[in-house]
């Protein structure tokens, strides 16, 4: 991974820049699965609460029945402006293949800049409520998961779901886990350690994460709102309902300082969960497992183990 980081750093502006010829449309993003995952999974497109959701079913050997008891909804990172990449589809297909007890879904959430948090979150909150209702009827558990900006959305929706359950007087919810991969948890980006980490990060930059925040906030929502900066949220409802927050981060990531601080807040509120903090590792490194890099494969396998243990 050290060699990869060295090779990646000179071209990082190109890696994180959205395609200039593409622009988001209003509403949910319709996604196109890459053909490379067709050997592992079948993909079905659904629309739930006007949001495109892509369900992956593992292609199992003849005679083996697929009996999932847990739904995982994945929100792919992409600076809030880009849809799920080939790497996102590939790791989700791997989860579907390795975790037959889960149904894996990729959510085509509305993308900025046409859909900022002010427009997207109300839509996604309705979706989250419906997904949990559906799981309750089918006696399934639910996990919200995501990386980078998608991790921000997964955490935001997890907090909303927990808070709503408490408001309704419920002491239970189908949401059991929130899984975060190198998440953006504080869109204020004020942590002084970000500047120090910026010199080491081979993928992301301090300038870029500030640009990303600007794409998502606005129209009445500021970066000080816990809906977009979960580090500022009251986390009591997660503890009360027993919702676990798991995460994996590398310390050579400009998002790591805030994520480490967020992890400390989770501990202060008594929220359970398992975390892997990998020294000198880059942003979203488990997604690089497809290139057969040892550390990335180990990161991916750690995620698999966490999901198995908390199914």
Q: Which residue has the tokens 């083996």?
A: 64
152: left (phi over 0), alpha (psi -120 to 50) or beta: alpha
DSSP character string of the chain: -HHHHHHHGGGHHHHHSPPTT----SSSPP----GGGTTTEEEEEEEETTEEEEEEEE-PPTT------EEEEEE--STTTS---HHHHHHHHHHHHH-TTEEEEEEE---TTTS-HHHHHHHHHHHHHHHHHHHHHTT-EEEEEEETHHHHHHHHHHHHHHHHHHHTT-S--SEEEEEEES----TT---THHHHHHTT-SS--HHHHHHHHHHH-BTTB-TTSTTT-GGGS--HHHHHHT-EEEEEEEEESTTHHHHHHHHHHHHHTT----EEEEEEEETTGGGGGGGT-HHHHHHHHHHHHHHHHT-
Task: Assess contact for 191 and 229: CB atoms under 8 A.
Answer: no
Nearest to 284, CA basis, from 245, 255, 241, 244: 255
Report residue 30 as tokens: 């319709």
* Domain residue spans of the chain: 2-12+23-309
Task: State residue 67's pLDDT score.
Answer: 82
Residue 225 token pair: 């709102």
CATH superfamily, domain 2-12+23-309, is Alpha/Beta hydrolase fold, catalytic domain (3.40.50.1820)
| DSSP per-residue letters across 272-307 | ---EEEEEEEETTGGGGGGGT-HHHHHHHHHHHHHH
pTM score of the predicted model: 0.94
- Match 């989860």 to its residue by tokens: 95
Work out the number of other CB atoms within 10 angstroms of the CB of residue 164. 16
Which residues have C-beta within 8 Å of that of residue 214, sequence separation ≥ 6?
Answer: none
Structure tokens at 10: 């000179």
pLDDT given at position 303: 99
- Per-residue tens of pLDDT for the chain, all 311 residues: 555 555 445 434 544 556 554 556 889 999 999 999 999 899 999 999 999 999 999 987 777 777 899 999 999 999 999 999 999 999 999 999 999 899 999 999 999 999 999 999 999 999 999 999 999 999 999 999 999 999 999 999 999 999 999 999 888 899 999 999 999 999 999 999 999 999 999 999 999 999 999 999 999 999 999 999 999 999 999 999 999 999 999 999 999 999 999 999 999 999 999 999 999 999 999 999 999 999 999 999 999 999 999 99
Active-site annotation holds for 148: yes
Predicted pLDDT of residue 171 = 80
Residue among 28, 120, 148, 149 flagged as catalytic: 148
């Amino acid at each position: 991974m050290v060699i990869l980081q060295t090779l990646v750093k000179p071209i990082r502006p190109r890696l994180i820049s959205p395609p200039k010829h593409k622009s988001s449309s209003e509403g949910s993003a319709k996604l196109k699965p890459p053909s490379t995952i067709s050997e592992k999974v079948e993909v079905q497109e659904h629309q739930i609460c006007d949001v495109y959701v892509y369900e992956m079913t593992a292609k199992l050997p003849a005679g083996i029945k697929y009996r999932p008891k847990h739904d995982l909804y994945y929100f792919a990172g992409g600076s809030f402006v880009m849809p799920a990449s080939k790497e996102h589809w590939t790791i989700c297909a791997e989860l579907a293949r390795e975790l037959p007890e889960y149904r894996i879904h990729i959510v085509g959430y509305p993308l900025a800049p046409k859909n900022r948090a002010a427009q997207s979150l109300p839509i996604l909150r309705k979706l989250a409520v419906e997904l949990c209702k559906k799981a309750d009827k089918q006696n399934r558990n639910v996990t919200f998961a995501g990386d980078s900006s998608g991790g921000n959305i997964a955490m935001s929706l997890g907090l909303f779901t927990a808070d709503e359950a408490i408001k309704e007087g419920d002491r239970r919810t189908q949401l059991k886990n929130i899984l975060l991969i190198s998440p953006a948890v504080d869109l204020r980006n004020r942590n002084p350690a970000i500047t120090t980490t910026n010199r080491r990060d081979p993928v992301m930059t301090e300038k870029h994460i500030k640009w990303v925040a600007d794409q998502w906030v606005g129209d009445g929502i500021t970066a000080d709102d816990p809906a977009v900066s979960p580090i500022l949220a009251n986390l009591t409802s997660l503890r009360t309902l027993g919702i676990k927050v798991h995460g994996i981060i590398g310390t050579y990531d400009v998002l790591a300082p805030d994520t480490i601080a967020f992890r400390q807040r989770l501990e202060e509120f008594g929220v359970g969960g398992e975390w892997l903090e990998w020294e000198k590792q880059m942003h979203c490194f488990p997604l690089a497992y497809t290139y057969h890099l040892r550390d990335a494969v180990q990161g991916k396998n750690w995620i698999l183990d966490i999901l198995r243990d908390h199914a």
